Homo-oligomer: A and B are copies of this chain.
Amino acid sequence: MIEYDGTDFYGWQVQPGKRTVQGEIEKALSIIFGERIKVRGSGRTDTGVHALGQVANSFVPPKLSPERLKRALNGTLPRDVYIKEVTPVPPDFDARFSAISRIYLYRILRGRSPLKRRYTLELDYEVDVERMREIARILPGRRNFKYLAMKDEGECDLKRVEIKEKGEEIHVEVEANRFLRRMVRGIVGLLLQGGRGKILPEDVERILKGEKRKPPFAPARGLYLVRVVYPTP
């Protein structure tokens, strides 16, 4: 289980010549074991997206206990990635395909704060949280969310879209069996336009069908992969 600050990464997935989280972890494992080792994540996160609980699995030589491997990894990794937990798993465990759902959080700040700017979307306009909730209630269900996503498609079972107020922040928590590319940021973009009254509940079905243009994606810096859920064995 991995926490990272996405700000200075080109996302999760290995890309030649780019600094990625997967790339850093594979490099650290390869240093520790002296051989090329790959990891498999539960899913990609885009450039700038953070994680509190990304999950990845790997086959490694049985030389170190989980606790010692965790220490060796954290001693080798840069400060913006941290391995929170190392656990042995059955050989058929697959961080991606074994997952039954993913939970993301999006943090919106009403106003501006230099100390939170890397980790929230700073809003320079007013939103009405009740209006956001009206939009949020329409979204859950099994459907193809392609019109809220970016060059991706397929059915997702969106289980919940919850909006909570925490002081000056608005937190949007979403859970689905899987998400299309940029889909969470598409949902938050929609909620924000709803909160401004620029999109009404009756517009939502038309947007989901591609009959009305979707609002812009919310930026990456407010987004966190919080938890990946696996069946309890």
Q: Which residues of A pack against B, CB within 8 Å?
A: 3-5, 50, 52, 74, 79-82, 112-115, 117-119
Contacts and interface: CB of A to CB of B under 8 A. Distances in A.
Contacts of A80: 114, 117
B115 A50 contact: yes
A117 B79 CA distance: 8
Contacts of A52: 115
A115 B79 CA distance: 10
- Chain multiplicity (copies): 2
Contacts of A82: 112-114
Nearest to A3: B114
Nearest to A21: B114
15 contacts: A3-B115, A4-B115, A5-B115, A52-B115, A74-B112, A79-B112, A79-B117, A80-B114, A80-B117, A81-B114, A82-B112, A82-B113, A82-B114, A115-B119, A118-B118
A167 to B, nearest CB: 14
Nearest to A122: B79
B74 A114 contact: no
Given A3-B113, A4-B114, A52-B115, 13 more contacts: A3-B115, A4-B115, A5-B114, A5-B117, A50-B115, A74-B112, A79-B114, A79-B117, A80-B114, A80-B117, A81-B114, A82-B113, A115-B119
3 closest A-B pairs (Cβ-Cβ)?
A5-B114, A80-B114, A82-B112
Interface centre among A4, A81, A113 (most CB of B within 10 A): A113
A82 B117 CA distance: 11
A115 B80 CA distance: 7
A44 B189 CA distance: 40
